[in-house]
Amino acid sequence: SASSVAAGRLAYLLDLRGPALSVDTACSSSLAAAHLASRSLRGRESDLALVGGVNLILAPEVTVDFCQAGMLAPDGRCKTFDADADGYVRSEGCGVVVLKRLADAERGGDRVLALLRGSAVNQDGRSSGLTAPNGPSQEAVVRAALDDAGLQPDDVSYVEAHGTGTSLGDPIEAQALGAVFGTATRARPLLLGSVKTNLGHLEAAAGVVGLIKTVELLRNREVPPHLNFTAPNPLIDWDTLP
């Protein structure tokens, strides 16, 4: 049952010799893995990285606990940023992306789908609870990612939000994003979405699924519909957000 065995077994099957890591940071696990992989590539510790996340619901205990804690949407629908947001939806799935340094990918004739300009990771520190996000920490990590990418807030036109569809987390995240991207010089609105309205919350795999959605959004130059949205969450001050 040790999660380290999964990465080691994959390395064994594929005969990989570089770093083989299982990352557990709960819902951000696969995004944290992408961050570590990009650092490994930048530092020339690795020349190619496979970044993946998988979530399988193989036993009922966690779901029962979350139901009893009132964390899950009773209707099985993730209603991110909606007035009726009442919990998230557990779901299963797997996603993998292949990362290389851009120059190496171009030299090798690879089909480049997107460029990962920068990334950042931080922690909430002392917050009001395990499931309660910390707005200033969310704001700080987004600013750190922009700095790492060499971008300004106005350069960003779309954010793929964590957006779990909870009455507590959604307003905190929206406010943090507004604080970063609501500049006086912004000329176009910031588009906001969450793949959880399409697929549910893949927990450890949620990050890589959001990353894949964003890559497809860029490739197709089209934002897919944000589902289960009928009335804006009144706890979010939409009129002051960009």
In this prediction the pTM is: 0.94
Kindly tell me the number of DSSP H helices and DSSP E strands found in the chain.
8, 4
Distances (CA, A) of 191 to 60, 103, 135, 173, 177: 36, 30, 19, 14, 11
pLDDT under 70: residue ranges of the chain? none
105/84 Cα distance (integer angstroms): 45
Structure confidence at residue 202 (pLDDT):
97
Distance, first Cα to last Cα, the chain = 45
Question: Do the bridges between strand 191-193 and strand 93-99 make them parallel or antiparallel, or are there none, so unpaired?
Answer: unpaired
**Nearest of 169, 71, 74 to residue 124 by alpha carbon:** 169
Structure confidence at residue 146 (pLDDT):
98
Structure confidence at residue 41 (pLDDT):
98
